Amino acid sequence: MTDIVLGVGASHSTLMNTHWEETFHKDRAERFRDALREARDEIAAARPDTVILVGSNHFRGFWLDLIPSFTIGVGECVASGESGTPEGPQPVDVSLARHIANTLVEGGRFDLAYSAKLQIDHGQSHAIQYLLDGLDVEIVPLVVNVFAHPLPTLERCERLGRAIREAVLAFPEGRRVAVIGSGGLSHRLPWPDWRDPHGDDEEFMVGAWLNGRDHWKDYDVKRREIIRAAESAINEDFDEEFLSLVENGRTHEVTRYTTEELEKVAGNGAQEVRTWLLMAALLGHAPGRRLSYESLPEWLTGMGVAVLDPTHHHTSERQP
């Protein structure tokens, strides 16, 4: 029997690793870091065999030469190791990953892109570093396109989460499965719409995304300079609203936003809440428990952590 035993939504920021000493709001940063540790302990207590790790990709493993909406890793998985995050091969539950891909494709539900040699970046390896620290688990990596327009709609992401849930629960080999959604909350990155860049910096970024597959180190120093020069744009009201939906088992209601509306309200980085939405759908939209929310302008982001435990709450399945 396969069970989905826990869900975690958590923001990520490589500035935790590279700019801790320059972080002004140390009290907020420490509370967020403590919440990550608490979530890690709850994952450990749930004793998962496998963690479905839903995250974004910041033009490290995916480039504008090919951008799938959703990609599942079904073989090797290699972390890029930027900014002090884990580097190198990660253990993948190949059997479960291929079962999910086969079930969704052959059942006519979703034509998932798949990779037998997937490169992930801090959009997932940050969670490996902090939430899976010291845990003997395999992962099923799922990458969601949240930065290269056109993006999959929020509704489409929610439907995918429910479809994967059905596939996982039907897995005959038996697993205890946890789910992590890594990303968000509100923030704005100095990243252009690749279709219409304006100015030298935006032209540079699009060039990096187009040509960086084999030469990303050539672009990385200036790329980081552009990001570090950005001004914070955190919308605490949106973050509180979103976390309230998570807490009340109503995360699916975020699908009322179009992609354009979400960016206008909470910034282009808030498109990463798709990872939380997928996670919540995989948990049947069980009500969650907030462990932390901190507005950290030094990290450009509203940083949140929440846990969804279906054993402590009645799971309310949302019908299509």
**How is 122-150 classified by DSSP, letter by letter?**
HHHHHHHHHHSTT---EEEEEEE--SSSS
Are residues 83 and 122 in contact, defined by beta-carbon separation less than 8 angstroms? yes
Residue 296, C-beta contacts closer than 8 angstroms, at least 6 positions apart: 13, 23, 25, 28, 29, 32, 234, 302, 303
Would you state the pLDDT for residue 163?
98
- In the chain, the number of structural domains is 1
Residue 254 token pair: 């975020």
Smallest CA-to-CA distance from 296 within 131, 183, 186, 190 is with 186
Does 88 reside within a domain? yes
Would you state the pLDDT for residue 269?
96
Per-residue confidence in pLDDT tens, the chain, 320 aa: 999 999 999 999 999 999 999 999 999 999 999 999 999 999 999 999 999 999 999 998 899 999 999 999 999 999 999 889 999 999 999 999 999 999 999 999 999 999 999 999 999 999 999 999 999 999 999 999 999 999 999 999 999 999 999 999 999 999 999 999 999 999 999 888 999 999 999 999 999 999 988 888 888 889 888 988 888 899 999 999 999 999 999 999 999 999 999 999 999 999 999 999 999 999 999 999 999 999 999 999 999 999 999 987 544 444 44
Would you state the pLDDT for residue 316?
43
Instruction: Report helix, strand or coil for 34.
Output: helix
Does 28 reside within a domain? yes
- Report the residue count for the chain: 320
Question: Residue 241 belongs to what domain range?
Answer: 3-189+230-308
Q: Where are the beta strands (DSSP E) in 240-310?
A: 288-296, 301-308
Does 235 reside within a domain? yes
Does 224 reside within a domain? no
Residue 204, C-beta contacts closer than 8 angstroms, at least 6 positions apart: 219, 222, 223, 226
Does 317 reside within a domain? no
* Cα–Cα distances in angstroms (integers) from residue 256 to residues 145, 154, 250, 260, in the given order: 19, 8, 12, 11
Does 213 reside within a domain? no
pTM: 0.95
Would you state the pLDDT for residue 313?
54
Would you state the pLDDT for residue 302?
97
Would you state the pLDDT for residue 217?
81
Does 196 reside within a domain? no
Instruction: Report helix, strand or coil for 10.
Output: strand
Q: Residue 284, CB half-sphere, CA atoms under 13 Å: how many?
A: 17
Does 91 reside within a domain? yes
Would you state the pLDDT for residue 218?
87
CATH number at residue 52: 3.40.830.10
